[in-house]
Amino acid sequence: MGSEDRALRGRWKVLLGGFLLSLMGGVAYAWGVFVVPMMERFGWSRYGATLPFTFFMLVFAFFMVPAGHWQDKKGPSKVAPVGAILFLIAYILSGLVDRFPNPWWLVLSYGFLGGLACALTYSCVAPVARKWFPDKPGLAVSLAVMGFGLAAIFFAPLKARFLIPAYGIESTFLIIGILTSGISLLASRLLKNPPQNWSFYEQCLQSGQCKTVEVRAELAPSQVVGKRLFWELWFIFFLVSTGGFVSLSLISSYGQEVLGLNPLFASLAISVFAGVNGLGRPLAGYLGDRFGILFTMIGAYVLQGLTLVLFGELVLSQVRLYVASAMVGFGYAVNLALFPTLVALCFGIKHLGANYGLVFTAFGVAALVSGIGSWMFDLTGSFTPAFVFSGLMALLGAGLSFLVKRAYRLY
């Protein structure tokens, strides 16, 4: 068996490494379980208790650009371990919050260092998966990034029901830090780029297997930001992400205040969202490979948009709340699963880490403005304006995706 054949047979372990890295990044993403315990323990406001996570999201999103650039130059096997070690440092320092009981201590430790660690590890996931799987890029990338969406389902209950009650906030940070760093280091050993002069992509093109995902051009980040297509893709990502963030922040409250559900059953809607967001990503990748990336995105965005616009009219029971959460979650899954593949299609694979990082800044901006939903509710006393706003954002994303598909003749 030749070296290329061995590489081809072993490429699936790269997806396992990517999945584990994204799963560990998602552990940090499940911050909500710390909010109430910190308010009770340190007397912080809800704003103060959520501030570290806000900074985490901003640092994570905006440092994806330099992290992706470094990954493109040095490779995932050198960049991901740095992020893994930085996770441990971030969590150890966060565990000292009893000695420095101020939200800004966690902003620096969890928010800045943790966000930077997440950017370093997550920036390695999509590019390496895309390079190894030119024949099924959507499915491969979506499987690799699936862990980020699934992490909250498993680790939020672990923190809330076992670790924090049994060991306290400080020790929970330490335990999670050791777990996250250790698994991330193990996953890093599974990540490597294909061998030099690997001919599998050319074989795919010649056989017709990769025709629908053939790269249009190899562009450096400095060239990408000057392209109108880049800004159109950035705006689509921003629109759909903003709609998802705004609606996600209100779904549980809607279940309690409008449907009269108890907090447990209302919060299950968030679990449904998270589950579909995670498990729906491989389906999104398969559909993208089978029917086209933008075709799949348009369909998912329309479904998400109509669900949110009609939320107040349609969601009148517990079951309907869960169904609507699943539909919104699938739109979110499609957005995060297919965009790395779309960026590779438009701007190439060589600089995919940095180029996708540039597009991913839209996610950070969306997180920053997501509070507009709560502001609309406070202003009107109704959930409807915020849900309609979220739905219109998704429908605008679908419309712009359709125009991009036609203008650039993208698959």
Interval 32-64: pLDDT, tens = 788 878 888 999 887 888 889 889 989 999 999
Which has more pLDDT, 405 or 36? Answer: 405
Contact 211, 205 (CB under 8 A): yes
**Residue 199, pLDDT above cutoff 70:** no
Neighbours of 369 (CB within 10 A): 14
pLDDT band at 1 (very low <50, low <70, confident <90, very high): very low
Rounded CA separation 25/176 (Å): 11
pTM of the predicted protein model: 0.87
The number of residues making up the chain comes to 411
Give CA angle at 225 (224, 231), nearest 5°: 105
Average pLDDT over residues 332-348: 92
Q: Does residue 204 have a pLDDT over 70?
A: no
- CB 251, CB 386: distance < 8 Å: no
Per-residue pLDDT for 284 more than 80? yes
Inform me whether the pLDDT recorded for 214 exceeds 70.
Answer: no
Task: List pLDDT tens digits, range 227-265.
Answer: 999 999 999 999 999 888 887 778 888 888 899 988 778
- Residue 203 pLDDT greater than 80, yes or no: no
**What is the average pLDDT across 295-313?**
95
Q: How far apart are CA 42 and CA 111, in angstroms?
A: 18
What average pLDDT does the chain have?
A: 88
- Evaluate whether 111 touches 56 at the Cβ level (below 8 Å): yes
CB 351 within 8 A of CB 218: yes
Name, of 1-10, 113-122, 198-207, 402-411, the range with top average pLDDT.
Answer: 113-122
- CA proximity to 387, closest of 236, 258, 233: 258
| Close Cβ partners of 315 (under 8 Å, ≥ 6 residues apart) | 254, 259, 321, 324
Angle at 162 between CA 175 and CA 170, to 5 degrees: 40
Contact 57, 367 (CB under 8 A): yes
User: What is the per-residue burial (b if ≥16 Cβ within 10 Å, else e) of 381-409?
Assistant: eebbebbbbbbebbbbbbbbbbebbeeee
Q: Which two tokens stand for residue 234?
A: 């950035």
For 173-188, write each residue's pLDDT tens digit. Answer: 999 999 999 999 999 9
CA distances from 338 to 2, 249, 398 (A): 32, 23, 14
Are 105 and 97 in contact, with CB atoms under 8 Å apart? yes
Q: What is the pLDDT of residue 310?
A: 95
pLDDT at 210: 57
Q: What is the pLDDT of residue 74?
A: 93
Q: Is the pLDDT of residue 211 over 60?
A: no
- Token pair of 118 as six digits: 């997440």
DSSP code string of 388-408? HHHHHHHHHHHHHHHHHHHHH
CA proximity to 338, closest of 204, 144, 157, 59: 144
Tokens of 72: 């493109």
CB atoms within 10 A of CB 361: 18
Round to whole Å and give the CA distance between 108 and 35. Answer: 17
- Calpha distance 373→376 (Å, rounded): 5
Residue 215 is given by DSSP the state -
Task: Kindly tell me if the per-residue pLDDT of 375 is higher than 90.
Answer: no
Phi-psi region of 317 (alpha: psi -120 to 50; beta: other; left: phi over 0): beta
| Highest-confidence segment of 196-200, 265-269, 340-344 | 340-344
Q: 79-97 pLDDT, tens per residue?
A: 999 999 999 999 999 999 9
pLDDT score of 162: 86
- What does the pLDDT average to over 282-311? 94
Sign of CA dihedral 23, 111, 61, 50: positive
Q: State the residue for tokens 């559900």.
A: 261
Contact present, 180 and 91 (Cβ < 8 Å): yes
Between 129 and 152, the more confident residue is 129
Report the percent of the chain where pLDDT is more than 70.
93
pLDDT of residue 4: 58
Q: How far apart are CA 301 and CA 291, in angstroms?
A: 15
